[in-house]
Structure 1
Amino acid sequence: MIPFRLIQFCGYLAACLMIGPGVVAASSPAERDLFEVHVRPTLVKHCIQCHGETEQEGGLKLTTLEGLLAGGDSGPAIVREAPDESLLIEALRFESFEMPPSGQLDDPTVSGIAKWIAAGAPWPDRVVLTPTPTISEDDREWWCYQPISDPEVPKVEDAGWCRNEIDHFVFARLTENELTPSAEATPDRLQRRVHFALTGLPPCDASPNAQPQGDWYAAQIDSLLGHPEYGEHQARFWLDLVRYADSDGYNADHARPHAHLYRDYVIRSFNDDKPYDRFVREQLAGDEIDPGNRDALIGTMYLRHWIYEWNQRDVEGQWQEILSDVTETTADVFLAQGLKCAKCHDHKFDPLLQRDFFAMKAFFTPILPREDMPVADVPTREEYLRQLHAWEEATETIRSRLHEIETPVLLAHATREGVDKFTEEIQSMIGRRRRDRTLYEHQIASLASNQFDLHPDKLSEWMDGETETERQHLRGQLAELAHLKPKPLPTLPFVAGDVGTDSPPTRIPDHDGPPIEPGYPTILDPEPADIVAVPTALQSTGRRSTLAAWITDPQNPLTARVIVNRVWQQHFGRGLVETASDFGRLGTPPSHPELLDWLATRFIEDGWSLKKLHRRILMSATYRQSSTRLKDENIDSVDPQNVLLWRMNPRRLSGEEIHDAMLAACDELGPQKRAIYKNVKRNRLDPFLAAFDFPDRVRSQGKRHRTTTSPQALMLMNNKWVHDRAKRLEAQHHDTSLHDMIQAVHQQLFHRDAGPQDHQRAAQFMLSYPDNAPEQSSSGKSQDDTTKARLALLHAYLCSSEMIYVD
């Protein structure tokens, strides 16, 4: 075996023999010390951030000796053997320029660099300075970047409290903190709780106390998971995440008439228990992985939920914002990584580099909004393209001439916003044929085309006679060759594909250097992505399906943890990681890290089944706990926020749940009546839902705000829609006694029997109701005082805390 020191010496000797005549190598120990002790650390720490590979302020690049000798706009940075004539030394001494901007360096450092220049500026062969890695070992040890583990289930002495493995993890943490879990909630509370948890609706069947003996709770969960209302309820959480809306946003806020197809796709996917990894892949790249599947193509509408300003003349700037928004949303939704901060610079707290942002963005750089995406499998697409190319070749001359004479006229008479207000560059892109545009130009021209309308049916009115005669002749020739053109394939609007089989370049703004290739966060995989080829007939790059495969890889440490945590948050009001869309240092570490990993492992083993995940969580004793606060002196000091889960957290219903529960109480909950089907107009949200914290759907929302405000109370008290529900409820019980009405309404609204106190309070309310002027009904007849009092009582029930809270 050759000694390691001999290998080092041989390598060093070879390097010395290869030194070129223009470079002085740092050969002696003293020269190497001058470079390594003074020059390298100073330039790396203070200089090459602004004068490096990606940025060269003043035209100065300091990563190589050649760069120092060449200098920048002000001349050479160093003059060999003449430190006092070197601009670098002047700047470090603050004699002309003052560098670095953070403050003057100490004298020994500056003197060491001056000695290095005086010695002829010896520089090690082939050394190119690079920034100090911003990802440290401490970063690599951050919990969310560790592989998902499969921890052992803790053994606990629980006196029979635990119902499944989840409870072992929770009980172990409680025991460590000298806390005990709460008792199990009553069956009627549990039934109401689990109904709202899975379907967002109150129970419509009898109280469990009246049901046959047996495991009614498990049967109830299985039944609810099979209801179509399950998918309707689960969809709203996902639609918040992907910022779904039926309008564009901004000032114009135009309608998106086909967006509802995505909403219905999400509902179907949850009801079908589509494996989550498949669900993710369809949304990122359904057109690449299953082009003949209409549902998979609808999934790509995920890429269309960005906001858009129809009269924004800076089309290129808006397009970059759109691509950045898709990038940020993808990182938030699937990976819980706040990439947005890395758009302008390396993240200040998390190991996410600016390069990572643009490497992720590069997966989406080639996307193209499509209103005509073919719904056809690969063989069908191949045959279609074969015929289309044959027709295009046969008609090229005709179509080229038609473009020459028609397009300028069409653009000159374009309506709506018109074309003339765009820059000349963009007008030129719009005026070119598709085949004459670059990929990027076609993206910009396509986006710009949303702002104007063309009217080919009026061309004959706008052309002179000679040109119109030629045009009609050409049109006739084109018609004679129509038999060569393939029959149109069925298409789908409002989806996304790629602009072609290649991609426009992705660059960091204001940085020189080669384009950024698609890649993943450096801390997880520093190498560029290995893009998987897709069939040429799809006219796509394969970038998005490559990203989708990486995100849904079981070895990815983020994806399963993120979705498991989101489902946990849905049921407990707080995730095991409280910051559900940020697993970084600005977020909150998991309260039960082993439980999170155990659930993520089971989730993957279960085929990424969300229904099985819901069932496992809801079957636990942890979920079944009462919401009553324990009388334990330790709680206020140990866990006042219930992070350790010693009881169930009561929660207020969402605006959609309140809306739907009122409809259900009045037997008005027919098809498409639920709040999930309401049109979401970003600039004009439904007033009732908006009062109860419905998001504007402009940015991804991992958890809604939960406010308690006066407008909410006023909305419930004064809103006509709520009053109408009270009237409907009164009409159902108009001919019943007060006692029977109270009994029935308590079952409808609160899912419990009315007790003596409830009847007493209702009677007192009726007796004390003020004798005001008669209210006019729609028929014009006065209502008697009893009816008015009953209406007011029912309205109070609809607005009560017991109605709008679940415990």
Structure 2
Amino acid sequence: MESILALALLVFSLAPINAEEASPQVDFSRDILPLLSENCFQCHGPDEATREAGLRLDQRDGILAQADSGLAAVVPESAENSELVKRIISADPDLLMPPPESGKKLSATDIKRLKQWIDTGAEWSVHWAYEKPESQELPSPTGTWKHNNPIDLFIHQGLKESGLSPSKKAGKETLIRRATLDLTGLPPTIAEIDQFLADDSPDAFEGVLDRVMESPAYAEHMTRIWLDAARYADTHGLHLDNERSIWPYRDWVIDAFQNNMPFDQFTVEQIAGDLLPEPTLQQRIATGFNRCNVTTSEGGSIDDEYYVRYAVDRVETTSTVWLGLTSGCAACHDHKFDPLTQKEFYQMFSYFFSLTERAMDGNNLLPPPVVKVPSDEQTALKTKYQQKVTDLNSGIKERLDNIEYEDALADAMLGELEQGDAIWFDDALPPGAKPQGDGPYQWKFVTAPEHPVHSGKNSSVRTGTGLTQHFFDGANPKLKLGNPGRLFAYVYLDPENPPETIQLQFNDGSWNHRAYWGADKAHGAGQTGAANFHAGELPETGKWIRLEIDAASVGLKPESEINGWAFTQVGGTVHWDAAGVVSLQSLPAEKLSSLNLWKQYRKKVTSPPIPAEIQKILDLEPEKQTEDQHRKIEEYYLQNVHPEHADSFAKIRKDLDDTKKALADVEKSIPSTLVMEDRTEPRQAHVLERGQYTEKRDAVSSAVPQWIAPLPEGAPNNRLGLASWLVSPENPLTARVTVNRFWLQHFGMGLVKTAEDFGIQGEQPSHPELLDWLALQFVQSGWNIKEFHKLIMMSATYQQSSNVTPQQLQKDPDNRLLSRGPRYRLDAEVIRDNALATSGLLVRDVGGKSVRPYQPSGLWKAVGFGGSNTSVFAQDKGEKLYRRSMYTFWKRTSPPPSMSTFDAPDRETCQVRRARTNTPLQSLVLMNDVQFVEAARKLAERVLLEGGSTPPEQFAFAFRTTTSRFPESYERDSLMQLYKEYFQEFQSTPENAEKLLSTGESARDSKLPAADLAAWTMICHLLLNLSETVTQN
């Protein structure tokens, strides 16, 4: 580490080294401030609560002032009189700083630098990241080293100072593979490689970049990287970890990258798109960025606690993504290393503390606020159906206007109506009904003369020795109760084997409606009232008896709708037959021709139902009805009731009803997504002692940390103002942090290694002048993301070979000086997508809901709760198995296992830099995961069908498809020998070949010989497992 630091110091030095000087010039921000932060700030830093001895070392005034001891820590130009130096070199453990128990000790080099800094005046400056990027004078070209753009000049300057030279340019096959993987997360095809190899023009590589960045795959890959920062997932994250619908936000990000949305606009719309003037639907969808956080609805959770948690998460995420600050430290106390105070943290917190979201998500798919997100096709259909509804209503109105209706019986009285039976079921169950039952038998229909039958051809029978029941539910259409609301059923009790009890039970959404005859021994025994109404003694045996029960007696209202009916008995043999409802007879046609008589009739009945608005008007006394209400009654009557006119309206009414249903179906199919929305009355934010929601201290208002930059003039003091501040020209962090992440994407490591921390505890930039130059270029380009990628990738630095020499390995082991091209293992999603693409399985549909490809069984169940809709993993089928990995359903409590194995984050919190580990489990995934074995099988089919007719052609095809280069002769010979061994093995054990070729759900080409295909599958499996295949070279 010390050797790396020594090399870095050479690069960082801003002044030329004079041979007469004993040591390089010390830079405060680079050399001294990190030293103080690491060793001193915990007790003598920004946090007043933990500051000791009245000594503050994070400010110049503090370091020069007298401490409680009366001594000054630093006396400029006199290290020997500075108490700080005396304490650092003291041999007395009671005086030594840092204290021995801290485990920290300054090295001799650190002490030498510190003394040199004091002796040269103890010049003070702000931490480099908190100063605005400065325009840099470009270094002069270095000798004959090739440079394509200013990036190379900065890199070459550092290499020269370190005694290194840049590497040669990588070959064209390497360049197109590197660029295509970097920008799309997919490998180039052989056709794309050959096209590039054949293009000798000087702008051939630039053409590759332009083509690739216009592809949807580019936008998907950029989105996949961004989703780590956004902590995107498909579940809430806590307790039940139920599914949430926020995938339209992911689609918005894809569109933004596809259309090269400027990064400042990309920022504003995600932080505060809903607060823009007249925000568009897309701008509201963009705010899903801050609805991606973990939420809960666990019993016992406290709303106030989670409102605080959610706002804290949003501050931390915003700070990490745009500012590169570890702001979460300041939730409990002033930051111990950076200037961020606890008050400033809660002032930022206030921007996110007044949303309309509920603390408890209800375990719902769409906890509000949400918006509907129709596709273009759905929007077109809505417009079409809405216009058709308008046209049909206009047609109906025109017909009504042409009817001259006079009620000849306007003064007549209706009189009494006769009652009649409406039989719901007799010889068979009602449509849609699902038969159920307990005991060894369920429904059993029987016929005469072997059994008693009351009507029709059948009756149902059940014989039991105890409490038994057969029933149905789910009937559609349902049985609608009218007036007077009486239910009936015919029953026959066997005189040789009578029951103790019979019971009827009805379901209107609840089964808690029962009437029984005989002993109180059936369901609901011991209860009283509607749940177990005693209707009388057992009826006479040996004959058909009609049972009738008032609906009100069992708690059913006249307008109730029944979808199920149960027949219960305790012992005995019981036959049941026709059942239904007693209702008033319909009006005859001559009376239906009178609006007056129909209105009187509707006051006596509730069936068939009519629109609630019409019923409400009918319930009014005639003298209280307005002229408009009377007109509505008459129009409804003429369209739907009048014997003559209703028929003429029937077709257009049906057309209208069908159109309304189609419109409703479209509306129902439109997805929704979570968005941000502010409350009308904001919540008051407070500084929270130790971050505890119950420990409120000073009230605070929304504000940004002024030491970073002031709020832009004229900006509102809300989330929109915060977003404007993030991309303000005065903000020193956002552009640096953003271009550093893009650099990380291309080189595997940022110019600032700690991409998540640009604070004092973060690592120093390897090339600070280059970082500033890139930040300014990015802003001056209009925050143009594609242009910035192109700037990096057109540099000679990016296009270097990644082969490493012994000298480079010794002087630049981590490639911090960029003495060679990038080389690092691909991300989890890219490894899987690479396999799918090379095999031909990849389905390139863009956007849409998440999918559930293969994963080991039982993982969700192991962490699942009862009642969770993600406790059981249901694997998708067909094309959904082969979508890009960015669309894989992300369950926070059990992320996709193959992704986790290759270091994908759990998405519970924001992450801008993934770890890269190397474990045996990763090799096991590549070897045994069904997705990779299946990919090998399908690639083998491609080899045999597309790879040529000779073995050399086929081996070249397989090798080029997986690695983007031709195999060396020794590689081809080794593969051919291995193929022969596999072929002989599978010829002698065809059952093993069949087992291998049955892996995965994609169809196998049965025309290909099994042994040949199996042998090629193993060769392709080996190629997909090569380090070269899963590594960016």
Smaller-chain TM-score bracket:
0.5 to 0.7
Instruction: Give the whole-Å Cα distance in 2 for the aligned partners of 1:144 and 1:718.
Output: 46
SS for the counterpart of 2:356 is strand
CA contact (8 A) 1:695 1:704 kept: yes
Report if the CA contact (8 A) 1:365-1:506 is conserved: no
Q: Distance in 1 between matches of 2:229 and 2:699?
A: 30
- Relative distance call for 1:372 and 1:218 in structure 2 (3 A) is closer
Q: Secondary structure at the match of 1:497?
A: coil
Shift of 1:697: 0.2
Number of aligned positions between the proteins:
576
Which runs of no fewer than 5 residues in structure 1 stay unpaired?
Answer: 1-43, 51-102, 104-136, 377-414, 416-456, 462-471, 534-541
Q: 2:834 aligns with which of 645, 652, 661?
A: 661
The answer to whether structure 1 residue 605 and structure 2 residue 780 are counterparts is yes
Question: Which residue of 2 is the match for residue 581 of structure 1?
Answer: 756
- 2:323 aligned partner: 335
Structure 1 residues 784 and 473: alpha-carbon distance in aligned structure 2, compared to 1, 3 A threshold? closer
Match of residue 595, structure 1, among 755, 770, 776: 770
Asked if residue 675 in structure 1 is aligned to residue 885 in structure 2, the reply is yes
Change (3 A) 1:528 1:179: closer
Counterpart pick for 2:964 among 747, 751, 755: 751
AA aligned opposite 1:576: L
Q: Secondary structure at the match of 2:1029?
A: helix
Residue 630 (structure 1) shift: 2.2
Which of the residues 285, 289, 308 maps onto 1:320? Answer: 308
Change (3 A) 1:679 1:195: same
**For 2:677, what is the secondary structure of its paired residue?**
strand
Q: Distance in 1 between matches of 2:372 and 2:1008?
A: 61
How many Å apart are 1:277 and its aligned residue?
A: 0.5
Matches within 5 A, 1:309-708: 309-312=296-299, 313-369=301-357, 370-372=368-370, 476=616, 493-500=673-680, 502-509=682-689, 514-525=698-709, 532=715, 543-632=718-807, 635=808, 638-672=811-845, 673-708=883-918
Displacement of 1:210 after TM fit? Answer: 2.4
2:442 equivalent in structure 1 = none
Alpha-carbon separation, structure 2, partners of 1:741 and 1:49: 71
Change (3 A) 1:531 1:554: closer
Aligned partner of 1:232 in structure 2 is 220
Equivalent in the alignment of 2:69: none
Cα deviations across residues 601-650 of structure 1 (Å, max 9, x unaligned)?
11111000111110000000010111111242xx4554322211101131
In structure 2, how many angstroms separate the alpha carbons of the residues matched to 1:140 and 1:698? 37
Amino acid at match of 2:890: V
Q: Given the superposition, is the C-alpha separation of residues 203 and 637 from structure 1 closer, same or farther in structure 2, using an over 3 Å criterion?
A: closer
Give 1:147 deviation, angstroms: 1.2
TM-score by length of 1: 0.66
Residue in 1 that maps onto 2:644: none
C-alpha spacing 1:49/1:235, structure 2 compared with 1 (3 Å): closer
Cα pair 2:686 2:697 within 8 Å, conserved:
no
CA offsets, 1:724-752, max 9 Å, x none?
11111122233644322101112211111
Match of 1:435 in 2: none
Structural RMSD (CA): 3.7
- Larger-gyration structure (1/2): 2
| CA pair 212-622 structure 1, distance change in 2 beyond 3 A | closer
Identify if the C-alpha distance between structure 1 residues 744 and 48 changes in structure 2 by more than 3 Å, giving closer, same or farther.
closer
Tell me which amino acid in the other structure corresponds to 2:980: L
Moved more, 777-786 or 493-502: 777-786
CA drift of 1:371 comes to 3.1
- 1:196 is aligned to 181
Residue 797 of structure 2: SS of its match in structure 1?
Answer: helix
Q: Structure 2: any 5+ residue segments left out of the alignment?
A: 1-43, 51-93, 95-121, 358-367, 375-509, 511-555, 561-611, 629-663, 846-882, 999-1003
User: What per-residue deviation string (whole Å, max 9, x for no partner) do you get for residues 754-798 of structure 1?
Assistant: 332122101221233373633225599997544432221111111
* 1:426 alignment partner in structure 2: none
Deviations 1:513-536 (A, max 9, x none): 5411112225325x8998855xxx
Residue 768 of structure 1 aligns with which residue? 981
- 1:477-504 per-residue CA deviation (whole Å, 9 max, x = no partner) reads 99999x9xxxx99996411110115443
8 Å CA contact 1:576, 1:591 repeated in 2:
yes
Alpha carbons of structure 1 residues 501 and 553: separation in structure 2 relative to 1, 3 Å? farther
**Alignment partners' CA distance in 2, 1:703 and 1:333:** 11
Q: Mapping of 1:288-303 within 5 angstroms?
A: 288-303=275-290
Residue 930 of structure 2 is matched in structure 1 by 720
- Partner residue, 1:804: 1030
In structure 2, the partner of 1:86 is none
Deviation at 1:246, TM superposition (A): 0.8
In the alignment, residue 556 of structure 1 is paired with which amino acid? Answer: N
Aligned residue type for 2:677: G
Shift of 1:667: 1.9
Output the CA distance in 2 between the equivalents of 1:795 and 1:261.
36
SS of the residue corresponding to residue 623 of structure 1 reads: coil
**Matches of 1:155 and 1:528, distance apart in 2:** 38
- AA partner of residue 974 (structure 2): R
* Residues 234 and 890, structure 2, Cα contact 8 Å, conserved in 1: yes
Q: 1:474 to 1:576 in 2, by over 3 A?
A: farther
Q: CA deviation at 1:49?
A: 5.5
Structure 2 CA distance for aligned equivalents of residues 568 and 459 of structure 1: 72
Q: Flag the structure with higher strand content.
A: 2
Structure 2 counterpart of 1:752, which letter?
R
CA 459–162 in structure 1, closer or farther in 2 if over 3 Å, else same: farther
1:310-344 deviation per Cα after TM superposition (whole angstroms, max 9, x unaligned): 22432221221111111111111111111101111
Q: Is the 8 A contact 2:349 2:685 kept in 1?
A: no
What is the letter of the counterpart of residue 496 of structure 1?
Answer: M
Q: Does 1:154 align with 2:143?
A: no
Change (3 A) 1:355 1:458: farther
* SS of equivalent residue, structure 2 residue 676: strand
**Alpha-carbon deviation of 1:266?**
0.7
Alignment-mate amino acid for residue 565 of structure 1:
N
Give the TM-score of the pair, scaled to structure 2.
0.52
Q: Could you tell me how far 1:511 is from its partner in structure 2?
A: 6.1
Task: Measure the CA separation in 1 of the matches of 2:677 and 2:714.
Answer: 16
Q: Which has the higher helix share?
A: 1
Matches within 5 A, 1:278-293: 278-293=265-280
Are the counterparts in 2 of residues 174 and 644 from structure 1 also a CA contact under 8 Å?
yes
Render the CA deviation track for 1:109-148: whole Å, top value 9, x for unaligned: xxxxxxxxxxxxxxxxxxxxxxxxxxxx999610111011
User: For residues 143-182 of structure 1, what are the structure 2 equivalents within 5 Å?
Assistant: 143-182=128-167
* In 2, Cα distance between equivalents of 1:745 and 1:225: 26
Q: Is the 8 A contact 1:331 1:338 kept in 2?
A: yes
Aligned twin of 1:738: 951
Pairs within 5 Å for 1:124-143 = 141-143=126-128
Change over 3 Å in CA distance of 1:765–1:458 after alignment to 2: farther
CA–CA separation in structure 1 for the residues paired with 2:373 and 2:921? 47
The residue type paired with residue 800 of structure 2 is Q
Residue 247 (str. 1) matches residue 238 (str. 2): no
**In structure 2, what is the Cα distance between the partners aligned to 1:316 and 1:366?**
12
- 1:69-127 CA-to-partner distances (Å, cap 9, x unmatched) read xxxxxxxxxxxxxxxxxxxxxxxxxxxxxxxxxx9xxxxxxxxxxxxxxxxxxxxxxxx
Aligned residue for 1:748, secondary structure, equals helix
CA distance in 2, matches of 1:749, 1:528: 51
Q: Are 2:269 and 2:287, in contact at CA under 8 Å, matched by a contact in 1?
A: yes
State the alpha-carbon separation in 1 of the partners of residues 346 and 123 from structure 2. Answer: 24
What displacement does 1:476 show?
Answer: 4.8
CA distance in 2, matches of 1:177, 1:803: 33
> Would you say 1:273 and 2:260 are equivalent positions?
yes
Deviations 1:549-605 (A, max 9, x none): 111101110111110000001101110111111101221011111111101111111
Which residue identity does 1:544 align to in structure 2? R
User: Shift in Å at residue 715 of structure 1?
Assistant: 1.0
Q: Aligned equivalents of 2:816 and 2:145: distance in 1? A: 23
Whole-angstrom CA distance in 2 between matches of 1:619 and 1:550: 32
* Deviation for aligned residue 1:698: 0.4
What fraction of aligned residue pairs are identical, expressed as a percent? Answer: 32
Structure 1 stretch 619-628 or stretch 768-777: which is displaced more? 768-777
1:709 aligned partner, one-letter code: T
Deviation track 1:354-378 (CA, whole Å, cap 9, x = no partner) reads 11110110111112233345999xx
